[in-house]
Chain A
Amino acid sequence: MSIATIWVLAEVADGKPTTTSLELITQARALAGTVEAVAWGPATAEIAGALGEYGATTVRDIGDIGDALPGVPVAAAIAGAVSAGQGPDAILFPATYDGRDIAGRLSAKLDRPVLTNVVGLSDDGGLVSQHAIFGGTQVVTARFTGEGPGIFVVRAKSFAAEPSGGAAAAVVPLAGGETGATNTATVVARHVEERSGPKLDEADVVVSGGRGLGDKDSYAMVEELASLLKGAPGASRAIVDAGWVPYAYQVGQTGKTVKPTVYLACGISGATQHLVGMKNSKNIIAINKDQDAPIFTVADLGIVGDVHKVVPKLIEALKARG
């Protein structure tokens, strides 16, 4: 293997490493001899077991960062290690809010470029990354030139997470770095927007609504249909921006990436930024009254019709089945 060590930024949610972190560790295992995780927070030791199980030998623990936003302190700690000559060949970041912040900060600190929107990574005599562009119609392969670790920001669900059965990762402290005046943004309160049913990015069925629903109240039928199919409701950005549903429902470029068995799009045109978040679904059903809507180019079953006619009948028929 030409790549010795890869670090993966491990994010934690509900006391566990996020699925995307584990996806990256899994892929790193296939590319490098040594895979290590970088983590922060008050209870890093608790995730060492899970990280080891997916192939990380070590957790580089930055420790508690208090109420700071992670971007600055985490990047400073990583930059410190790299400058001291202890850095890896590449660092993989999940394409999350914090992941992007840390990667951007690190890039400027190290004066190294960053490759974002990565959907594939392979070893071609050195690490190369794949990027889906133009709504996923073309794939660009890119690589870094020059010295220093490659900084990659990888989209969720680019790889499948598979355990390696490894032992718990060893927890090794990673010293904080110089932050100057940059580390002064403080989180003063956290708000969780509750939602019921399966999680959008884990559900087997996703029913999404778009502007074609016409008004906010009509979103209720998307929720009802999702619940009848034991799935999760989702949305296009158009109706998130319009304030019909919270941002957590958004599917696409700036929202969630989903890969369910069935994705049902109701009144969604299929803009490229929406498609990149759902076009790898195993099966796609689209209901749209415009037969030329781009969503039909990816749909396995396209229904040219009015959502206000088709969806209520579908709900009725599902209820009748009990």
Chain B
Amino acid sequence: MNVVVCVKQIPDPAAPPALDPGTHNLVRSGKLILDDSDAYGVEMALQLVDAAGGGEVTLVSMAPNGETSGLRTALAMGAAKAILVSDETLAGSDALGTAKVLAAAIRRAEPDLVIAATESTDGYTGTTPVQVAELLGLPSVTFAKKVEVDGQTVKVERQTEAGYDEVTSPLPAVVTVTAGVVEPRYPSFKGIMAAKSKPVDTLTAADLGLDGSQVGVGGARQEIVSVVEAEARSAGEVVVDEGDAHERVIQFLEQLKIL
């Protein structure tokens, strides 16, 4: 079974994020890393291919400046190869533009299953994978907390407001996984060395038959009007516990008439 995993390469979430004051786009100039949310998808895909007894995992990513460091991390985990779409015309793409690029790249890999995360750490629109599914004409199951493949059927436990649903879908399909679906492995030293020589196919938007009216700023058809500081919630009283801090909590709850 061949699985494509969409992996986003993002600025280190530990570093303070910033918007470009001119374009209002998220600044992505520094080194990018594998979005932690996608490590779950990579692990899930590796396990499903293992269980199927054959096939391989292909990564698909759209990122600026030919960035591959996040891809190398996922290749080191065990993915076989990657398709990277990187091109200046893609800057400023919104979720739908991104989905057009990913869908066109995925089509080349002809996968049995496409896996993505429910939402990215930096963009968190959470719509890209479903848009990809629609563009590819595939069924989709989002918010998977358990995934199994049985022949030509994928079986998913999908989170709901009330609990979870058991959902089945014929393959090929798009599945989005939540954090916690599996425990991602750490790349081994051997894996890291092997990743250096695994193939990364780098494409431009034009290679995929997409132009500036569909992707990038031109395709976005939405704009940021303003960015302002939110009304800050100020920190209140801080008490260091000396064995009696619970009394202050009780007092506070009494003031609020909770007690």
Contact = CB atoms under 8 A, between A and B. Distances in A.
Q: Do A and B come from one complex?
A: yes
A132 B241 CA distance: 34
A5 interface: no
B228 A139 contact: yes
A67 to B, nearest CB: 9
B206 interface: no
B108 to A, nearest CB: 19
Contacts of A246: 163
Contacts of A71: 130, 140, 142
B236 A185 contact: no
A138 interface: yes
A177 to B, nearest CB: 12
Given A104-B131, A105-B134, A254-B118, A302 B237 contact: yes
Contacts of A144: 221-222
A254 B119 contact: yes
Contacts of B128: 104
Contact of B222 (A109, A134, A142, A261): A142
Contacts of A184: 139, 169-170
Contacts of B248: 301, 303
A299 B235 contact: yes
Contact of B167 (A69, A229, A241, A310): A69
Interface residues of A, number: 93
Given A185-B141, A254-B119, A107 B127 contact: yes
B169 A132 contact: no
B133 A182 contact: yes
A270 to B, nearest CB: 11
B124 A107 contact: no
Contacts of A143: 222-223, 225
Report the interface size class on chain B.
35 or more
A100 B239 contact: no
A193 B139 contact: no
A113 B95 contact: yes
B55 interface: no
Interface in A282-322: 283, 285, 287, 291, 296-306, 309-311, 313-314, 317-318, 321
Nearest to B250: A317
Given A247-B159, A306-B241, A111 B165 contact: no
Given A137-B230, A302-B238, A117 B253 contact: no
Contacts of A105: 130-131, 133-134
A301 B249 contact: yes
B17 interface: yes
A287 B220 CA distance: 44
A72 interface: yes
B201 interface: no
Interface in A127-147: 128, 132-134, 136-146
B229 A137 contact: yes
B245 A310 contact: yes
B127 A153 contact: yes
A237 interface: yes
A124 B35 CA distance: 36
> Interface majority SS on B: helix, strand, loop or mixed?
mixed
Contact of A182 (B139, B232, B252): B139
B160 A314 contact: no
A13 interface: yes
Given A190-B163, A190-B165, A300-B236, A317 B247 contact: yes
A185 B169 contact: yes
Given A134-B17, A262-B256, A104 B239 contact: no
A113 B96 contact: yes
A13 B128 CA distance: 27
A226 to B, nearest CB: 12
Nearest to A106: B134
Given A189-B165, A237-B179, A181 B137 contact: yes
A314 B259 CA distance: 13
A119 to B, nearest CB: 10
Interface string B211-224: 00000000011111
A104 B134 contact: yes
A115 interface: yes
A29 interface: no
Given A69-B141, A305-B245, A186 B169 contact: yes
B167 A13 contact: no
Contact of A141 (B97, B224, B237, B249): B224
Interface in A101-127: 101, 103-105, 107-109, 111-117, 124
Given A136-B230, A184-B169, A186-B168, 19 more contacts: A112-B221, A113-B220, A117-B125, A139-B228, A140-B24, A142-B224, A180-B137, A187-B166, A205-B258, A229-B253, A246-B163, A248-B162, A298-B235, A300-B236, A302-B237, A310-B241, A314-B249, A318-B250, A321-B259
Which 8 pairs from chain A and chain B are nearest by CB? A305-B241, A104-B130, A108-B134, A104-B127, A241-B180, A300-B236, A193-B163, A185-B169
